[in-house]
Amino acid sequence: MFKNNKIKSIFFSKNTILNNNKILKKFIIIYRTFGKLNFNKSNIVLICHALNASHNITNENLKFKKKGWWYNMIWYNRSLDIKKFFIIGINNLGSCFGSTGPNNINYIKKKIFGYNFPKLNIEDWVKIQKMLLNKLNLKKISVVLGGSLGGMQAICWSILNYNRLKYCIIVATTIKLSINNIIFNNISKNSILYDTNFYNGNYYKYNIKPNKGLGIARMLGHFSYSSYYIFNKKFNNSLFNINYEIEKYFKYQSKKFIMNFDANTYLIITNILNNINIINNKKFYFKNDKNKICYLLISFTTDIRFPKKENFKIINRKIKNKKIINFINIKCPDGHDSFLSKNFFYIYIVNIFFKIIFKKI
C-alpha cells in the first residue's frame, strides 16, 4: 500500500466545506511516507510543516535534489528513526509544492485560481489532513509533531482530534500571534501587494511574478527567523564592507526563495497565521476530560518570533485543564530557526521523548 519514500497524491472529488462555509470542489493533496507500519498501526507519526516547507520532510528532495527540511531530526538512527516509526508528511492545501493551490487550475471554472483561491484557516488544513489519513485507513496517530506554523497545526490536531492521538510535540510556536508577529506578516504581505507585477494576484496569465515584493518579504522573514548571535558571528569579522556583505547575503536568500515559492501561497499562509486565535475560539477550549494526550513543548532562548512567553500561553491553558505537559526552553543561538537546527540538547530531548514513546506503542 505504501511505497516508502515516494511522493504520492490523493484526488478529492467530493465537495469539501471549508471553515468559512465556502465549498471547495475537486482538489489534490500531495503526501510522502517513510518507514513501515507495524502490525497494529500504532507507530504512525504525522509531521505538520511550516510556512515555506512541504511534504519533503527528510531524505533527498526529489524535485530540488537536496535534503528534506527536517533531515536533522528524521532518518535512520535519528531522533525520529524511520526503522521504528511510520512517518507521513502532508503538503497543505494552498501550497505551491504539488497540492492544489492558487497557481493550479480550478477544475470547475477551468482557469487558474490566482488570488481567488478560497480563504483558508488552520482548521481547514487539519480537516483535510484528517480526510487524507482516513482515505489511507490510518485512523489512529501515535504522535503529531510540528514546529512554528506546523506546531500550531499540531495543537489543533490535539484538540479537535484528541481521540486519535497519544502524543503531541510542539516546537517554537504559539496559540495566538503577538502584535509584533502580525506586524512582520503585514509588512511582508504589503511588499507583495504593492509590487507592480502582482496584478491583483493574477500575474500567472502575464507569465511574470511579483518577485521584488516576494523577495523583500523573504528578506524580512529570514531576518526575523534568525538571531543577533548568528548575524553578529557572520558579519562582524567580515574582511570586506559590512554593508555590502549584508546586502549580498540577503539578496542571495531572496533569490533562492523566489525560485521555488509562489506569492499567492505566501499571502494565503500569512493570512492563516494572522488569524490564528486558539485562545478565544470556543472550538479549541481545552476542556475535554477525555483528552489524555501527553505534550512536549519546546521553545528557544533566541527566538524573537515565538519566545518562551508565547509557549506559556499554551502551558497556562493546558495546566488549567489538567493536561500532561512537559516544557523546556533550550539555549540555542539560531533564533526561530532553531527548530530546524542540529543543536545537541534539542535533538537529545526529542530523541529521549521518542524512545519513551516507542516503548509504549
- H, E, C per residue of 76-144: CCCCECCCCCEEEEECCCCCCCCCCCCCCEECCCCEECHHHCCCCCHHHHHHHHHHHHHHCCCCCEEEE
Q: Are residues 256 and 186 in the same domain?
A: yes
Q: Are residues 118 and 185 in the same domain?
A: no
Annotate 309-319 with b (16+ C-beta within 10 A) or e (fewer).
ebbbbbeebbe
Q: Are residues 145 and 71 in the same domain?
A: yes
- Looking at residue 320, its pLDDT comes to 53
Question: What gap in Å lies between CA 88 and CA 46, rounded to an integer?
Answer: 5
Is 142 annotated as catalytic?
Answer: no
CATH number of the CATH domain containing 97: 3.40.50.1820
Q: Are residues 85 and 150 in the same domain?
A: yes
The total of structural domains in the chain comes to 2
Q: Is residue 2 in a domain? A: no
Is 55 annotated as catalytic?
Answer: no
- Domain span holding position 347: 7-177+277-360
Catalytic residue among 148, 226, 299, 338: 148
- Looking at residue 108, its pLDDT comes to 84
CATH number of the CATH domain containing 194: 1.10.1740.110
Catalytic residue among 299, 303, 334, 338: 303
User: Is 164 among the annotated ligand-binding positions?
Assistant: no
- Looking at residue 151, its pLDDT comes to 95
Q: Are residues 159 and 191 in the same domain?
A: no
Is 195 annotated as catalytic?
Answer: no
Catalytic residue among 95, 188, 195, 336: 336
User: Is 81 among the annotated ligand-binding positions?
Assistant: no
Domain boundary pick from 273, 299, 332:
273
Q: Are residues 126 and 40 in the same domain?
A: yes
Q: Is residue 1 in a domain? A: no
Q: Is residue 198 in a domain? A: yes
Q: Tell me the whole-structure pTM to 2 decimals.
A: 0.93
Q: What is the DSSP letter of 229?
A: H
The per-residue pLDDT for range 153-189, each reduced to its tens digit, is 999 999 889 899 999 999 999 999 999 999 999 999 9
Domain boundary pick from 256, 273, 290:
273
Q: Are residues 264 and 284 in the same domain?
A: no
All residue ranges of the chain with pLDDT < 70 are: 1-5, 60-66, 239, 279-290, 317-323
Q: Are residues 104 and 25 in the same domain?
A: yes
Q: Are residues 127 and 27 in the same domain?
A: yes
Burial class (CB in 10 A: 0-12, 13-18, 19+), 80: buried
Gyration radius of the chain over CA positions: 20
Domain boundary pick from 212, 243, 273:
273
Helix (H, G, I), strand (E, B) or coil at 49: coil
